[in-house]
Amino acid sequence: MSHSLDARSLIEFMRLAEGLKSVLRHSYTSSGRVESVAEHSWMLCLMAMLVFDSIEVEVDRLRVLKMLVVHDLPEVLTGDIPAFFKGNNGHHQIEEEAALRKMVKPLSPGLRKEILALAHEFEERKTPEARLAYAIDKAEAFIQHNIAGVESWDANDFLYQTDFDNRRHQAVLFDPFMTELKRQIDLETMDLIEQAGLMARASRDAVQRYQAGELSGGAD
């Protein structure tokens, strides 16, 4: 099945994909403006490059990068839905799959099949590559919230950022390195909240763990 495409089709698809630069996320940059999905996707790929040599699990690095590049493409049509608004019934996944099928129409059959397969693999999270990509996706969002500062958070952010037993938090624990990274993220999260005098807005469990020193172990 051919992966090649003509120049006009490439331009048509790029025109569609460019829309991701204008889709805004439920997060801010350090300068105080709202972050775009495209900026998030770029940071994911950069973060992947940084962790590849530190993780203990062998992965196909190019496949991880491809998943990170394409998995948010449907948001050109669906918009970004904050994680704490997504239910567990899979409805948003059905919408995103339909949107992605529309997005890839200009591409060759081979490229369409590849992109759809990558997106499906990411959502299934059964392969090491998909689990790592998902872990990076979640970890980057937690890091970005901390970079932006607690002044940019709403009530949902405080609870989501400190709900350490949430499945999206747990998904970051891909291997020892990612587990240590997550501990450092959580410690920074609680430090920022404490410094702002907003501990009452964090989850009770997170406050208890923080005050008990459970987030301070490991190598600094």
DSSP 154-165: -HHHHHHHT-TT
CB distance 80 to 26 below 8 Å:
yes
Q: Which of 41, 106, 105 is nearest to 73 (CA)?
A: 41
Question: In this structure, which amino acid lies at residue 181?
Answer: L
* The model's pTM: 0.93
Q: What is the pLDDT of residue 117?
A: 98
Q: What is the pLDDT of residue 93?
A: 86
User: Which residues are CB-contacts of 28 (< 8 A; sequence separation ≥ 6)?
Assistant: 34, 35, 148, 152
Enter the tokens of residue 22: 């204008």
Q: Which of 32, 43, 97, 35 is nearest to 71 (CA)?
A: 97
* Domain architecture of the chain: domains with CATH: 7-211 (1.10.3210.10)
Q: What is the pLDDT of residue 84?
A: 67
> Which residues does the chain have with pLDDT short of 70?
1-2, 84-90, 218-220
Q: What is the pLDDT of residue 193?
A: 99
